Amino acid sequence: MLAAATAAAVISLAACQAARPLPEAGSDAARTYVERCGKCHRAYDPRSMTGAMWQTQLGLMDTKIRQAGMEPLTVDQRQIILDYLTRNAGTR
């Protein structure tokens, strides 16, 4: 019974987080982020990491994009995405 209640709570929490719209929804920056990063995985909420964490993560993704043989981010795309993520980043 406790396991079922815990599972239900986790599912409810995940559903609430999934329903939370991305910041600046509909902006060119948000659209670039979703279009490029959403090709391989869901576009994570920028508030889920700090700006410093996003900068590190974006560097890791650059490597994974190259390893997968995908078209790398242009300099402009990378800067737009990094600016968007850091502007909307979480604090912890």
CA distance 32 to 21: 15
Percent above pLDDT 70 for the chain: 79
Helices (H), the chain: 2-19, 28-37, 51-67, 75-87
pLDDT (tens digit per residue) in 65-75: 999 999 999 99
pLDDT (tens digit per residue) in 32-51: 999 999 999 999 999 999 99
